[in-house]
Amino acid sequence: GEDVEQSLFLSVREGDSSVINCTYTDSSSTYLYWYKQEPGAGLQLLTYIFSNMDMKQDQRLTVLLNKKDKHLSLRIADTQTGDSAIYFCAEEVKGFQKLVFGTGTRLLVSP
Amino acid sequence: NAGVTQTPKFRVLKTGQSMTLLCAQDMNHEYMYWYRQDPGMGLRLIHYSVGEGTTAKGEVPDGYNVSRLKKQNFLLGLESAAPSQTSVYFCASNSGQGSSNEQFFGPGTRLTVL
């Protein structure tokens, strides 16, 4: 079945770049997503990438997709303390309107 | 436009008790989902619905039942709660249209089963 894996923790200093990595298994996924969860809240869509793209940039966020290796990454430039949160990678299960989420990466940004 | 709302926000149950979690969305979305979030395991899909009157099993459906009698509501029931069902429960909805198939999440219900 589908499986999405992420590392559990990442710690960076304010102003540095953060890179969160994800691997997935379903090569037929049409969309791949990054969701952000702040403490005590639900998930919010941060960005997504269509499977026929290699890269997507949205202000401080850059998503890179390597379909051959089934590897997705999220780069946050100039990371701020407000970026501290849990970041979830998710792949779409094609044809079923379902998502499979990774375990989430807790990003801690220190001043 | 409230988006996705969940009630209650918190609940403590004793083993064997029953309860229903309510999810409501005011976006006229066709698809609705119930997830549970546990430390180190991400979000796991319990049940979902592709439209009013329909339900389907997700990844971890055992011990839960759902109903979608009205398009805007998706109920999650625990008939006989167990400590293993201690978790944070999230509801989400999706229009099934548009360019991104984004799921919109509620704020969560924190359930403790003693």
Min Cα distance A46 → chain B (Å) is 10
Q: Is B49 an 8 Å CB contact of chain A? A: no
A43: number of Cβ within 10 Å: 27
List per-residue pLDDT tens for chain B, 114 residues long.
789 999 999 999 999 999 999 999 999 999 999 999 998 888 999 999 999 999 999 999 999 999 999 999 999 999 999 999 999 999 999 987 776 778 999 999 999 999
Q: Is B42 an 8 Å CB contact of chain A? A: yes
Q: What is the pLDDT of residues A41-86, one digit of tens each?
A: 899 999 999 888 899 999 999 999 999 999 999 999 999 999 999 9
Q: What is the pLDDT of residues A5-45, one digit of tens each?
A: 998 899 999 999 999 999 998 777 788 999 999 988 899 99
Give the closest of A8, A88, A97 to B96, CB-based. A97
Q: Is A23 an 8 Å CB contact of chain B? A: no
Nearest Cα residue to A51 out of A36, A75, A71: A71
Give the tokens for residue B86. Answer: 């201690």
What does the pLDDT read at residue B21? Answer: 98
Q: Which residues of A touch B103 (CB under 8 A)?
A: 43, 45, 99
Q: Is B58 an 8 Å CB contact of chain A? A: yes
State how far the Cα of A61 lies from the Cα of A68, in Å rounded to an integer: 22
Q: Which residue has the tokens 């079945």?
A: A1
CB pairs under 8 A between A and B: 54
Residues A75/A59, Cβ–Cβ less than 8 Å: no
State how far the Cα of A101 lies from the Cα of A91, in Å rounded to an integer: 7
Q: Which residues of B touch A92 (CB under 8 A)?
A: 101
